Amino acid sequence: MDLKRKTDLTKDENLEVSGDLQVLVLAEISRAEAWKPGDGALHGGGGVRYRHGSERWSEDLDFMVDSGRFDRLEAMSSRVMDAVRRTASMLWPGCELHLKTRTRQDETDALHVWDVRWFHPSRQGKVQVKVEFYRTKRELLESYGSDIVSVVHASGRARVRGQLPMADAISMWGDKIKAVATRPAFKWRDAHDLGYLRGAMERSGGVGDEARLRAIELSASVYGKTLEDLLPLLREKLGSGVLDDQAAFMEDMERWFPSGPAGREAVSMVEGFLVGAKSEVARAVALIEQELEHRSPPPGFGR
């Protein structure tokens, strides 16, 4: 990235800088708190990337955290950003990093957001990294499959060294099934991540139906949903045909990978992920149907 000449910020530069910033933010979050299992977990697309090795760029870093850490996030943001700025000034001399924080809270949900924006006088445009922290009951976090992971992940010239709680593959799979069901609009990145996690679980020896069902139910519970809530929504997605639109999936995937030969090769490697994602959603539907049928009392019961 040649910052000696003034020009528009390119897509590949955006991906490079945002990836580096994510790595720096993760590193400083890992140093800002002494994390233990049950304190929180990085999940979502960022978790798929930084724990499980996906090459897909993720626009957000999504955490679940317990209420104690949630209440300290505003103070933590200043410490994290001061450290990130010091490193960023060496990676991109002359850059500016701006931070805005906000909290959305109601009777049941609370979300705290760090909006980090990168500017440089030699580039027309900005790079944005968003870090979201969802307040989660500790008993749910303690049941959620995550581990404190020693992280060494290079992105461009930045490198994470530290320890962070990150979700395991089956927990992220449950999150993605829940996301496919409840998002107002279908996101192709969810199909990518389901397809990727399908392969990751197969490579690790596979995951049984009971663990899959529990992962779906726990992910639903985190957001105040039940299996009964998810089932009709998942059936609707399967019946809509969206999981058969290969052309639209592949077109969207180009957004998440660099340009050039390496990026095109990476996109070609995910071609089968949509078929895999549809299979995973169908499997989830079958598991939920079986579970709800098992829970239902037989006809005439209690009369």
Q: Please, which residues have CB within 8 angstroms of residue 269's CB and are 6 or more apart in sequence?
A: none
Average pLDDT over residues 250-259: 95
| H-assigned helices in the chain | 11-32, 44-50, 67-70, 73-91, 138-143, 169-182, 188-203, 209-222, 227-240, 246-253, 260-269, 273-295
Contacts of 168 (CB under 8 A, 6+ apart): 51, 145, 146, 147
Whether 11 has a pLDDT exceeding 90, the answer reads yes
Is 299 a residue whose pLDDT tops 90?
A: no
**Order of strands across the sheet that contains 158-167:** 96-105, 110-119, 127-135, 60-65, 40-43, 158-167, 146-155
To the nearest 10 degrees (0 to 180), the angle between helices 169-182 and 188-203 is: 150
- List, for residues 116-129, the tens digit of each pLDDT value: 999 999 999 999 99
Contact 280, 198 (CB under 8 A): yes
Distance, CA of 209 to CA of 291 (rounded, Å):
11
pLDDT at 93: 94
- Please write the tens of the pLDDT for every residue from 85-109: 999 999 999 999 999 999 998 878 8
Alpha-carbon distance of 303 to 296, in angstroms, equals: 15
How far are the Cα atoms of 49, 76, 158 from residue 223, in angstroms, in the given order?
23, 25, 34
The dihedrals phi and psi of 271, each to the nearest 5 degrees, come to -55, -35
Q: Which DSSP symbol is given to 10?
A: P
Residue 191 has pLDDT above 80, yes or no: yes
Q: Please give the DSSP secondary-structure letter assigned to residue 50.
A: H
Task: Give the per-residue pLDDT at 156.
Answer: 59
pLDDT of residue 151: 62
pLDDT at 296: 72
Cα 148 from Cα 153, distance rounded (Å): 15
Q: Domains in the chain, ordered, with CATH? A: 7-167 (3.10.450.620), 171-295 (no CATH)
Q: Are 141 and 38 in contact (CB under 8 A)?
A: yes
Kindly state the percentage of the chain with pLDDT values over 90.
80
